[in-house]
Amino acid sequence: MPRTHSMPLIRLSMRQMLLISAIDDNGSLKRASELIGMSQPRATKALQEAEDLTGTKLFNRTNRGLIATPAGECMIRHAKTMLSQLSAMAQEIHSASDGEWGRLRIGTIMGAVPYVTETISAFLRRFPRTSVEILEDTSVELLRQLDRGLLDLVIGRSSMSTTPQLYNVTAFHDELLAVVANPAHPLIGRKKVGLKDLVDARWIVYTASMPMRLSLEQEFRQAGLEMPRALLETRSALTTMSLMQAEPNTVALLSSDVAAFFVNFGMASVLPMHLRSKSEPYEVITRKSADLNPQTLQFIEDLVAGVPSAARL
């Protein structure tokens, strides 16, 4: 193992880490230096020193501002992780001196929201002195936030990452799919509905290349039908329901868990369709390099244990 003084990066300061993170957030050295209270000449020197220590250029100057090089992206990721860990340490120290309050930061894809919220409700009844932050987005964006230390865990799919080897992954529930429609849709009441009946409907779909969107495209291919072009694309369940309430002819592909939630509130009806595709299972994803706090470990245990044994993988 090399001695500490032989590692040039040990000379990087937290102010340099803060500067590099701020440049990524703002795309400008001037705005970044103002944000962290550093003069621009000092910021220029600090960035140059960081590049000298790493032996490579971290940012390229373009007409769109400073753009990170591949080495810069690596530095940004680690800088944000370090800053996030410092923030978490400060919160834990504060919590320890304030009656042991805990903190939990969860990222979840839309389909898993019902499981996550149910688990959180039960978790908080047992551990009321816990602050919980929930972010709903795509697996790609959530894993990006996880990589930067901004989330403690993600409920999503590690297959959407280009570096799945960085994670600890536990698959815990298969996602079943359902086609839902406005309760006033003309096909409601039919005993059986096929994709050919919905060729002219306006589909509300997830954005391109996402697992649920790929599943729908596969369904149309297998049925020998062309994928509709008149699409409404969104990542949001709330937007999906708002669009569906506004236009009775719209239909959407949702996870059966999310569909059941909206059906229970009278906002949608499930069409009687047989779908061949099955999406990838939900996974609990954490970083191998991260030390999980007790709240995170307990939540993961509760989440996986809360899935009926017949549905668990």
Strand 282-287 vs strand 167-173: parallel, antiparallel, or unpaired? antiparallel
Does 307 or 176 have the greater pLDDT score?
Answer: 176
Instruction: Centre a 10 Å sphere on the Cβ of residue 37 and count the other Cβ atoms it contains.
Output: 8
Q: Residues of CATH 3.40.190.10 domain(s) within the chain? A: 100-174+281-305
Q: How far apart are CA 94 and CA 103, in angstroms?
A: 11
Does 243 or 277 have the greater pLDDT score?
Answer: 243
**Residue 252: its H or E element:** strand 250-255
Pick the CATH number of 9-76 from 1.10.10.10, 3.40.50.720, 3.30.230.10, 1.10.40.30: 1.10.10.10
pLDDT band at 295 (very low <50, low <70, confident <90, very high): confident
Mean pLDDT score, 142-160 = 92
Computed over every residue of the chain, the mean pLDDT equals 87
Q: Residues of CATH 3.40.190.290 domain(s) within the chain? A: 177-278
- Provide φ and ψ at 133, rounded to 5°: -115, 130
Q: Residues of CATH 1.10.10.10 domain(s) within the chain? A: 9-76
User: E-strand spans in 98-138?
Assistant: 102-108, 130-136
Say yes or no to pLDDT of 266 above 60. Answer: yes
Q: Which CATH class is domain 100-174+281-305?
A: alpha beta
Q: How far apart are CA 243 and CA 261, in angstroms?
A: 17
DSSP state of 1: -
Does 7 or 76 have the greater pLDDT score?
Answer: 76
Whole-number Cα distances in Å, 72 to 17, 29, 38, 77, 148: 11, 14, 20, 9, 14
C-beta separation of 227 from 220 below 8 A: yes
Domain covering 177-278, topology: D-Maltodextrin-Binding Protein; domain 2 (3.40.190)
pTM (2 decimals)? 0.69
Say yes or no to pLDDT of 5 above 80. Answer: no
Instruction: Centre a 10 Å sphere on the Cβ of residue 307 and count the other Cβ atoms it contains.
Output: 16
Tens of pLDDT, residue by residue over 55-81, are 899 999 888 889 999 999 989 988 888
- Provide φ and ψ at 238, rounded to 5°: -65, -40
C-beta separation of 280 from 141 below 8 A: no
